[in-house]
Amino acid sequence: MERVRTRCGFFNGIDVAAEGSRGGLSLGWNRGQLVNLKSFSKSHIDVEIQEEENPQWRFTGFYGSPEVRNKAETWDQLRQLGGTTGYLGWLEFTWERGRILERNIRERIDRGVATNSWLQNFLNYLLRHLPHSFSDHCPLLIEMEVERKGRISSRFRFESWWVLEETCEEEIRKLWEESSGPYLNHMRYLATRLKAWGKNYSSNTRVKYKELNDEEISEETLAEILEVKLHLNMEMDKEERYWKQCARVNWLQMGDKNTYFFHKSASQRRRINRIRRLQRTDGSVVTNEKEIEEIARKYFANLFESRGVGDVIHILSGVQPCISESMNQELLAPFTKTEIIEALKGMGPTKAAGFNGFPAIFYKKFWHILGRDTSDFCLEVLNNGISLDEINRTMVVLIPKIASPTNLKNFRPISLCTVIYKIITKSVANRLKKVLEVCIDNYQSAFVPGRLITDNVLLAYEVLHSLKNKRSGRKGLMALKLDMSKAYD
């Protein structure tokens, strides 16, 4: 059931495992609710949901037994919910069984039931049936605020699972050969055309599937539906296999073996990191989205603004030269394509991409198509000093340090750079690594191969312990806690 939920785009959820190919329930959500599991069984999931701006409410998802002798249990659950429902825009059928015309059955059995009090609290809700091909039932989607139209990003993103599609490489090769001009023109052209390709590739099969279900039923239609459903499931299996591998790596790093992951965390309160309100310097709170954006923009523009560099000559005069002539020659030598490739190999394939939308896996997978041009561009920057302005653009992402922060001081900014920029800077960093140990003091634990910043935790503890227990001597000791608010990735 976890697979079904993640295919629908919900990465927060509670799953009740299927028994072989039968049964199974899944409840997924993508917003900042607190979802507390009350109970579950093979036929129901019962939760309480708390939103920041709405009263707490209860949601029960249940699956009625198809056997007559067990119908009473299902109806008992419905009577407990009570209430009435208005017209919810039902499909003509939500359940289908039978591959030939004489045995094909279509029924509308997947529905939602709400109490009057719930309907009064959530006036702008919408209940939708999602397209399905992996089950004979329809997933139900509840949208709580239909009128609210959030910003839909039109920015291109290369979906990592596209590399599993056979036609993707052919499309990239064709587009790369079609494009002309400087290297960055190639990348812009590729992004524009791949965006359209990806949209058509992902939607054509689903559109065809929906159109076939809307047609009058016939032997030919059922046969075509079966073929399209098989093709659609094959597409989703490719995506599933890829993301399952990525998710397993991440969960193992977090200390979980990916066994009943969501069941273990079902009782925990989860939030989507969305900024709903911010506090001004005068203490007032704003909730308007445009005002929140303006406050954040001004705050970080001021925080990271350069106010000039003071005279540091007198400081540097006390630093003894430590780089030998041979080291200097190695640092000044022209960069090579081998160094470019090594820099790319050292990157996580699915790490968040920068503004151009291409992750490292794109370059790794299709290096045989665009590797020469990419290397030439990077070497032009490194060896000939062409401008970095166009690729030196970052997307700043705010990571909350505490739960539900309202002050920008409680966010940690991370800048997402393009892979091209990372290749260039990593090539330089790889060279510097060779001499860091010589020019950096032993007390510096970070960024030097063979040293761990975590060692400083033990060192800091011992230092503070010594300060606390000092009882003799005329000279006192002092520890400084430096302001690291301007330090960010």
Residue among 281, 309, 308 nearest 296 (CA): 281
pLDDT at position 423 = 96
* Domain residue ranges in the chain: 1-143, 162-273, 280-304
Instruction: Name the range with the highest mean pLDDT among 65-69, 303-307, 352-356, 439-443.
Output: 352-356
Q: For the segment 150-194, what is each residue's pLDDT rounded down to a tens digit?
A: 444 567 889 887 887 778 899 999 999 999 889 999 999 999 999
Of 24-33, 138-147, 163-172, 242-251, least confident by mean pLDDT is: 242-251
| DSSP reduced 3-state for 50 | strand
pLDDT at position 146 = 47
Query: What are residue 268's phi and psi, to 5 degrees?
Result: -85, 150
Helix (H) or strand (E) holding 42: none
Q: Is the pLDDT of residue 57 over 60?
A: yes
Whole-prediction pTM: 0.61
pLDDT at position 39 = 78
Q: How far apart are the first and last CA of the chain?
A: 37
With contact defined as beta carbons under 8 Å apart, do 348 and 360 qualify? yes
In CATH, the number for domain 1-143 is 3.60.10.10
- Provide the strand spans (E) within 325-379: none
Q: How far is it, in rounded angstroms, from Cα 254 to Cα 270?
A: 16
Q: For the segment 376-435, what is each residue's pLDDT rounded down to a tens digit?
A: 999 999 999 888 888 888 888 888 888 778 888 888 888 899 999 999 999 999 999 888
Q: In which band, very low, low, confident or very high, does the pLDDT at 255 lie, cut at 50, 70 and 90? A: very low
Helix axes 367-384, 337-345, angle to 10 degrees: 120
Q: For the segment 195-246, what is each residue's pLDDT rounded down to a tens digit?
A: 888 877 665 556 666 666 666 666 666 666 666 666 666 666 665 555 554 5
With contact defined as beta carbons under 8 Å apart, do 286 and 298 qualify? no
Q: How far is it, in rounded angstroms, from Cα 95 to Cα 136?
A: 5
Give alpha helix (H) positions in 37-151: 71-81, 116-121
pLDDT at position 196 = 86
pLDDT at position 194 = 92
Mean pLDDT of 23-33: 77
Mean pLDDT of 41-54: 77
Of 47-56, 116-125, 232-241, 285-294, least confident by mean pLDDT is: 232-241
With contact defined as beta carbons under 8 Å apart, do 139 and 8 qualify? yes
